[in-house]
Amino acid sequence: MTDIDELRAAIRSIHDVESTHVKSVPVTETFNGKTLWDGTVEVFRLHDHPKAEHVYAWSHETDDPDNPKQHVTVLHMGVIDSPQRAVQAAIMQEIRSARAQA
C-alpha cells in the first residue's frame, strides 16, 4: 500500500467519504528561526462530504510501538485554506493537547 493509499484509507475512516488525490505540496513551518515541521502535505478532493470539498493529509512516525505511524487530516474550511494553514492548525492542536495533559 502506498502512502497515498494509506492516507485515502485514513480519510475514509475518519471522514466516512471517498477521496481523490489532487497534488503534493512541500511545507516547511518555522518559528523564531527553528523548523517546527518539514514535510509533504497531500491534498485530496472529497466526494460528497457535507462541509468541505478538500482535505489536507500527511502522516508521521510516532514513539508508540503499538501505533508507529499517525495519519493527520485537516479539512479545508474557514481559515484553513492551504496546506500551510493545515500544518499550522495541526501544530496548534498538538500544543493545546500537550498543555492539557500537563
Summarised one tens digit per residue, pLDDT across range 20-39 is 999 999 999 998 999 999 99
Per-residue confidence of the chain (102 residues) as pLDDT tens digits?
899 999 999 999 999 999 999 999 999 999 899 999 999 999 999 999 999 999 999 998 888 888 888 999 999 999 999 999 999 999 999 889 888 987
The owner of cell 505540496 is: 25
Question: What residue numbers bound the domain in which 93 lies?
Answer: 3-101
Q: What is the pTM of this model?
A: 0.92
Closest listed residue to residue 36, CA positions, set 60, 68, 65, 10: 60
Planar angle of CA 62, 93, 70, nearest 5 degrees: 25
Number of domains in the chain: 1
Task: Indicate the helix (H) or strand (E) that contains 11.
Answer: helix 3-15
Q: Which three cell numbers stand for residue 83?
A: 496546506
Q: Say what the pLDDT of residue 94 is.
A: 87
